[in-house]
Amino acid sequence: MNNYSNRRFIIGGIFAFVILIFLIRLFNIQIVNDQYKLSAESNSQRRVTQYAARGLIYDRNGELLVYNQAAYDIMIIPRQVKIFDTLDFCNLLGIEKEDVIKRIRKAKKYSRYRSSIFMKQISSERYAVLQEKLYKFPGFFVQTRTLRKYPHHNAAHTLGYLGEVNDKHIKRDKYYSKGDYIGKSGLENTYESVLRGAKGLKVYWVDVYNRIKGSFHDGDLDKNAVEGQNITTTLDITLQEYGEKLMQNKKGGIVAIEPNTGEILVKLSSPGYDPEMFVGRAMSENYRELANNDTLRPLFDRSMMATYAPGSIFKLVQALIALQEGIITPHTRFKCHNGYHVGRFTQKCHHHKSPLDLKESIQHSCNAYYAQTFRNILDAPRFGSVSESYTNWRRHITSFGFGGRLGTDLPSELTGFIPKASYHAKQLKTKNWKSLNIVSMAIGQGPLLITPLQMANMVSCIANRGYYYIPHIVKSIGDDGIIDPKFLEKQQTTIDPKYFEPVIDGMDLVVHGEDGTGRSAAIKDIRVCGKTGTVENPHGDDHSVFVAFAPRENPKIAIVVYVENGVWGSRYAAPISGLMIEKYLKGKISKNKKYLEKRMLDADLIHIEKDKEE
Amino acid sequence: MNRRVSLIKNLDWITIMLYAMLVFLGWINIYAAVYNEDHQSIFDATQRYGKQLIWIGAAFFIAIIILTIESKFYSAFAYPTLILMVVLLLAVLVFGVKVNGARSWFQLGTIRFQPAEFAKFATNLAIARYLSQHNFKIHKIKSLFITGLILFTPAVLILMQNDTGSALVYSIFVLVLYREGLSGFVLFLALLAAIFFVLTLIYSSFTVAILIIAIAAVSLKMIGVQVKQIVIAFGILAGSFGTLWLINKGTDLQLENFSLVVIAILLNTIPFLVHIYRQKITKAAMVLLMVIGSLFYTFSVSYIFNKILEPHHQKRINELLGIQSDPYGAGYNVNQSKIAIGSGGFSGKGFLNGTQTKFNFVPEQSTDFIFCTVGEEWGFLGSGVVLLLLLGLILRLLFLAERQRSSFSRIYGYGVAAILFFHIAINVGMTIGLAPVIGIPLPFFSYGGSSLWSFTILLFIFLRLDANRLELLR
């Protein structure tokens, strides 16, 4: 009937041929080729990370500041979970039944066969009880983690905190994997590579039900964890704690440095926060609260990141430069009639005797004296133009560490701002600007911006009579005690040591002179040299600032106290500095200053200010 | 009573057995693929395996209905059925819902229905009806035109739904046409086209052009052209090409080498034809025509591929041909699928013990990639058995088709075998990396009511026709 019926063989042949090709291909990938089995095998290993204990952190006297506490994550492999006594389980973990169901559902959504976190960071007490009963709950196991713990609840900004790594960290450094912790700020951040140690790894065989069947390849792939190195900081935690107490209910910062080493004794920013707030489960919530809902910005480290105008304390450097440049001698006198007057221009000053010499000008913080001096520096014929003189002046200023990062071993240090000559030309729209145009800089106002850390470093320079060491926070690392050699290098200022004594005389008078502005910083038997500052604040009450070092010979401490809205340097900053120095050098506060201490502790500038606003 | 007895006696129980075995194995493997600890019962109707059991029950019911319908009905209603399906295909373009980017489903409450699946048997009926007409002559233009109309109407509509896989199924009717007398040359051309397609993409158009010319040279020798003449002709071609190449270098035209070859040949076409006419070697003209045709085809392939195909199609084809390797992107499915199947080894990991498929490494586990579960859990043995069962079924269908007295039944039978074959070849080929990833189900295995029912209808209509093979002659 049909001529083409033989074609059935061709068509059938095509069918059979294709199936044959498939069978050959299957034979090849299922039996001959191992590659696919190996790929599948990688799914039948369980790689368990061995977390390394993070290095501990001590203060300069060996006091423990940060240590580790074991925390226990409860892990779940949904597939292995069998029916269990939910009530018992809930009691053990202190959660509701609905919560359990929700968590299991979440884990199942991730994977039925792979482990995921069922509950984060249960306490060791709960763990102790749970451990005994864990066999009753198949599918659950415990993974140990370490959390940071703080015996002292201070120096949060300096110590920093840990947080879970994000995708960027993982991309940048292969060491990290999802769920790891990394130092996000402070010491934890700068010394991350030292503190973290090295993770280890254990590889197990698991069967299809993910049950461990033994060590993979006899442990050839296993790697032991290496503990992180310990760090000893330069902080004096007792002093730090005292400083934080004194600064309670005030905005501002304190930095204290040991001048002959550059070691930071105290570094605080107020208001601060308790480092424990950033540990474990509560972290993200607390962080959100502090970062977004607190108008006082407790996360902001004022000691290194706040840039203030320096105010009158800047006169110290002005005096030193003028001496170095030969503009004045210690005996140069200027008149002051309640201010500095040129034509219609007036730079106000408060009432004091007139005329006065250098040390008296410091004692009384005379504005006219420094307006005249600064103008003389800039108008000196030696450099031909104001702009050139200014550049020379700026060279001196920056040798004190102003206008740039000091290079300390903490992250997020800001540079502050010392304008270049070109800045003024731009601002004043002329290349031939005059010294009078920027005369407000003479007394530390105008465009100048300086961080408290830089202020402390300036005092360090004066205490050392001409040099400083880069302020740093770490005294020794690990067993060898090695730190970055740059912290051991003397940084010279451009000022000859012989010019410091007259200025220090003035600072001595500030504290001990008859009507010195910093008398409240005086301490019995100790020669404190200081300088008050009151920084004009267009947004509210003026800021109160005080710098000091002590004792006068062989100084042990250089300090800056900056109290926002503290009105006068002498009102808060000077007494707090005095108390800090006394605490550090004597270990306790003498009886006759107890009333002062109490007044400082009780002073509340934050809530008053708020009341005013309301 | 008598009729029913004879129907049962005349049914091809071998086919039914194969069908039942495949459906059962499919169900078992769906259970394994989406196995769920919380719902361990294979009868749990909230899970896919439970649902599949319902579809299977319904499929048996459908099969019985089909078998009780008079067989004349199928040929009589072949055209109306197709028209109905075309209407449904049009309607789904308007009223359908989108699933995975294809607008090919009707949604009725919670039940979805895919008309493209049912268009297959309707088209097959219509083709069988048309080709079995007495006045049908395959090489008449009109016949070819109407055949094309029957095939392309549903195919184009399905293509418009963005369901490329289901549309491509209609290409397999070329086997049916071949059985009914279409020249073998067409099959050969189709094969050649496929080879050139792959070569053009893997190598360059220029390489393929050289290959075409080499084949032409051999062909000329085979049809008896003197070697000397061939050498002279190709010398002329080479000379033209060289000249063009130099011109191209010297000027700023920046033509591709492939274009130069084409221009060289076109320039020489007239002189060659004149020469052929004088020497009376007409067959050589055919060769020349073939060369030009092939070059045009090669050009179209690279043009269509680069300019017309969508990027994800390009990627899938590149992945398949090994031009690009991207195991986590376009190649992810296939790579994971190969790992799953490959890890099955000789005898598999055992029922419900597959790790790769359980971890959801392979997407579309229970539908398009169901063969992975077979490969992983039952190994080479199991997948081999399944393939042989499928081959057994389609060969059995060929055998049944050939024993029909009615050409309508025979053609329909061939259609069934061809459609099943296409699905098997593409679906299994895709899971083991031998075919591009085109989402079409594995007959009787893949999860889904529409596909199971459509294959059941397709098959059982043929079994009904076969049961009547002795009674009528059409």
- Of the two residues A214 and B339, the one the predictor is more confident about is B339
Average pLDDT of chain A to the nearest whole number: 85
Res B2: pLDDT = 60
Res A143: pLDDT = 77
Res B323: pLDDT = 57
**Taking the mean position of all CA atoms in its chain, how far away is CA B351?**
31
Same domain? For A526 and A605 the reply is: yes
Taking CA atoms, B87 is separated from A403, B98, B451, in Å, by 81, 18, 19
Q: What is the pLDDT of residues A345-391, one digit of tens each?
A: 777 887 778 788 888 888 888 888 999 899 999 888 888 888 889 99
> Which range marks the domain in which residue A97 is found?
70-145
Mean pLDDT of A127-154: 82
Res B99: pLDDT = 76
Residue B203 domain flag: yes
Residue A584 domain flag: no
Mean pLDDT of B251-256: 78
Res B330: pLDDT = 54
Same domain? For A160 and A306 the reply is: no
- Cβ of residue A15 closer than 8 Å to a chain B Cβ: yes
Is the C-alpha dihedral spanning B78, B82, B88, B91 positive or negative? negative
Cα radius of gyration rounded to whole Å, chain B: 26
CATH value at residue A309: 3.40.710.10
Residue A121 domain flag: yes
- Cβ of residue B375 closer than 8 Å to a chain A Cβ: yes
CATH value at residue A200: 3.90.1310.10
- Cβ of residue B394 closer than 8 Å to a chain A Cβ: yes
> Residue B23 pLDDT > 60, yes or no?
yes
Residue A606 domain flag: yes
- From the list B259, B279, B356, the residue with the least C-alpha distance to A113 is B356
Chain B (332-351) residues lying within 8 Å, Cβ to Cβ, of chain A: 338-346, 349
Overall number of domains in chain A: 3
Minimum CA–CA partner of A114 in chain B: B359
Mean pLDDT of A102-127: 80
In eight-state DSSP terms, residue A56 is P
Overall number of domains in chain B: 1
Instruction: Give the model's confidence band at B360: pLDDT under 50 very low, under 70 low, under 90 confident, else very high.
Output: low
Q: What is the pLDDT of residues A221-230, one digit of tens each?
A: 778 888 889 9
Same domain? For A48 and A125 the reply is: no
Same domain? For A216 and A277 the reply is: no
Residue B121 domain flag: no
Same domain? For A397 and A450 the reply is: yes
Residue A1 domain flag: no
Provide, as residue numbers in chain B, all residues whose Cβ is less than 8 Å from the Cβ of A16.
Answer: 391, 395
Res B361: pLDDT = 58
Res B393: pLDDT = 96
> Residue A501 pLDDT > 50, yes or no?
yes
> Residue B157 pLDDT > 80, yes or no?
yes
Provide, as residue numbers in chain A, all residues whose Cβ is less than 8 Å from the Cβ of B362.
Answer: none
Res B1: pLDDT = 47
- Cβ of residue A32 closer than 8 Å to a chain B Cβ: no
Mean pLDDT of B96-108: 79
Same domain? For A408 and A555 the reply is: yes
Res A323: pLDDT = 92
Res B358: pLDDT = 58
Domain boundary among A204, A233, A262: A233
Residue with tokens 């702009």: A387
Residue A109 domain flag: yes
> Residue A1 pLDDT > 50, yes or no?
no
Instruction: Give the model's confidence band at A614: pLDDT under 50 very low, under 70 low, under 90 confident, else very high.
Output: very low
Minimum CA–CA partner of B349 in chain A: A208
State how far residue A9 is from chain B, nearest Cα, in angstroms: 9
- Of the two residues A431 and B21, the one the predictor is more confident about is B21
- Cβ of residue A9 closer than 8 Å to a chain B Cβ: no
Res A85: pLDDT = 80
Cα radius of gyration rounded to whole Å, chain A: 34
Instruction: Give the model's confidence band at B332: pLDDT under 50 very low, under 70 low, under 90 confident, else very high.
Output: low
Residue B44 domain flag: no
Mean pLDDT of A574-597: 89
Same domain? For A261 and A159 the reply is: no
Question: How, if at all, do strands A252-258 and A543-550 pair?
Answer: unpaired
Domain boundary among A145, A174, A207: A145
Q: Which two tokens stand for residue A442?
A: 């003479």
Name which of A5, A23, A41 is nearest B402 (Cβ-Cβ).
Answer: A5
Nearest 5°: the CA angle B180, B184, B186 is 100
Residue A125 domain flag: yes
Mean pLDDT of A394-420: 89
Residue A589 domain flag: no
Same domain? For A322 and A399 the reply is: yes
Name which of A12, A44, A111 is nearest B398 (Cβ-Cβ).
Answer: A12
Same domain? For A524 and A445 the reply is: yes
> Which range marks the domain in which residue B273 is found?
191-308
Residue B266 domain flag: yes
Residue with tokens 């607390």: A286
Residue B38 domain flag: no
* Cβ contact A18–B344 (<8 Å): no
Same domain? For A105 and A163 the reply is: no
Residue with tokens 């030292």: A194
- CB atoms inside a 10 Å sphere around CB B339: 25
Contacts of A539 (CB under 8 A, 6+ apart): none
Q: What is the pLDDT of residues A219-260, one digit of tens each?
A: 667 788 888 899 999 999 999 999 998 888 888 999 999 999
Same domain? For A241 and A229 the reply is: no
* Cβ contact A112–B343 (<8 Å): no
Mean pLDDT of B314-327: 64
> Residue B348 pLDDT > 90, yes or no?
no
**Chains A, B: CB contacts under 8 A, how many?**
119
Q: Is A589 left (phi over 0), alpha (psi -120 to 50) or beta?
A: beta
State how far residue A27 is from chain B, nearest Cα, in angstroms: 7
- Cβ of residue B211 closer than 8 Å to a chain A Cβ: no
Provide, as residue numbers in chain B, all residues whose Cβ is less than 8 Å from the Cβ of A18.
Answer: 421, 425, 429
Instruction: Give the model's confidence band at B226: pLDDT under 50 very low, under 70 low, under 90 confident, else very high.
Output: confident
- Cβ of residue B428 closer than 8 Å to a chain A Cβ: yes
Chosen from B131, B362, B391, B426 to mutate, greatest number of chain A CBs within 10 A: B391
CA–CA separation, A555 and A607 (whole Å): 37
State how far residue B468 is from chain A, nearest Cα, in angstroms: 19
Q: What is the pLDDT of residues A262-319, one digit of tens each?
A: 999 999 998 888 888 888 777 778 888 888 877 778 888 888 888 888 888 899 999 9
> Residue B14 pLDDT > 90, yes or no?
yes
Instruction: Give the model's confidence band at B474: pLDDT under 50 very low, under 70 low, under 90 confident, else very high.
Output: very low
Provide, as residue numbers in chain A, all residues whose Cβ is less than 8 Å from the Cβ of B424.
Answer: 19
Same domain? For A321 and A463 the reply is: yes
Q: What is the pLDDT of residues B409-467, one digit of tens each?
A: 999 999 999 999 999 999 999 888 888 877 789 999 999 888 999 999 999 999 999 99
Domain boundary among A118, A145, A172: A145
